[in-house]
Amino acid sequence: MYYIIALVALVFVVITGLVISKLGDVLKSVKKSDSEDTEPSGNKVNGAMFIVILIGGAIAITWSYLHAREFFLPEASSIHGRRTDDLFWFSMGILTIPFIAVNFLIFFFAWKYQHKKNHRASFYPDNHKLELIWTIVPAIVMALLVFTGWKAWSDITSDAPRDAEVIEITGKQFNWIVRYAGVNDNKLGNYNYKLIDAQNEVGIDLTDENSFDDFTNPSEMHIPVDRPVLLKIRARDVLHSVFIPHMRVKMDAVPGMPTKFWFVPDKSTAEMRAELNNPKFDYEIACTEVCGQGHFSMKIRLIVEDEASYKKWCAEQSTFLQTYPEYLAKVPDNLKAKAMKGLPETAAPADSSATASAATGVGAGSSIRR
């Protein structure tokens, strides 16, 4: 270890000596140039190269933008999405103006004010007006950009409208699980991570009567068009991120910290298929947070449909209790009658002894670790 430290120290000493030696040579050349006022070698060529790079860079940037346009995000299919796009292009326009002006002046001045014999530069020790201008103007512009972005973000993360369709999406390695509030009250039941098992993947709490009509879907999400949709976002294991490109929806799914995002889709899947002339088009929900080896496969279809079709689809789905009637044992006795509505007759306990048997959670399939 000591030998390594000594070797590193020796290297630094050698480098320091070389830097000092080079610095001395530079100072000597500067003094000599000042005294003789001679034009440096290659001065005109270097000055001309600044103009060449300026023009070449402008052409390259323009070509790059035009070439990459087809790879930009697709046209937004939500009200919030178009507002986000407007803010993005407004910000890009505001920032592009000083970018072009500053870079043009840097390269142009390097050429125009290249070294010339007997030429002396004017020197201003200070200029308070100029300093105020370049401080206040950027501050106002930045404040405007920050405020407009903050306002748009606050709107879609605030409380959703009362008529919003409430849907929960939970990320786990490596798929999404979508839970709907049923067709009765548009209220999701409570959940508890301690109730998670092979069937109850999102920990639905069956002591809450709002959960009796909840149903899940791990393969696709359906939402109504032209209606607010509130996504309640959770993660079961590691950090995930909900991303719906066409809707401009992106929100992290954080274990132990529920997040939310509401938006209004205004183009159905059918409308987009007709607009793009692509009968196979589908909206997609992807994960944009690297969450493990299977991250690449973490995506599901998003189907946007009219209100009637959406309600019909919801009505056709089996609730969690209908799919797994053995979980009736987890329902409090005073709520069992309400929970059994809609269950097949074979799932309902025939007598009190059957109820007692179900309550004890007999059978591996009916036990839930608490």
The CB density around residue 122, as the number of other CB atoms within 10 Å, is 4
From residue 195, alpha-carbon distances to 171, 201, 206, 360, 369 in Å are 16, 8, 10, 16, 6
Predicted confidence at residue 353, as pLDDT, reads: 40
Q: What is the pLDDT of residue 356?
A: 38
Q: Which of 24-33, 134-143, 164-173 shows the lowest mean pLDDT across its residues?
A: 24-33
Taking 80 as the threshold, does the pLDDT of residue 176 lie above it? Answer: yes
CATH number of 165-323: 2.60.40.420
Residue pLDDT, tens place only, 107-131 = 999 888 888 777 777 777 788 888 8
Exposed, middle or buried: residue 202 (CB in 10 Å: 0-12, 13-18, 19+)?
A: buried
pLDDT at 43: 79
pLDDT tens digits, 214-243: 999 888 999 999 999 999 999 999 999 999
- pTM (predicted TM-score): 0.73
Interatomic CA distance for residues 168 and 218, integer angstroms: 11
Residue matched to tokens 């390097």: 110
CA dist., res. 231 & res. 180, Å (int): 10
**Residue range 301-355, pLDDT digits in tens:** 999 999 999 999 999 999 999 899 999 888 898 888 887 876 655 455 544 344 4
Q: Cα torsion for 348, 354, 357, 363, to the nearest 10°?
A: -60
Extract the tokens encoding 359: 């309550």
Kindly state the average pLDDT of the residues 127-148. 88
The percent of residues in the chain predicted with pLDDT above 70, rounded, is 85
Q: Is the pLDDT of residue 357 over 50?
A: no
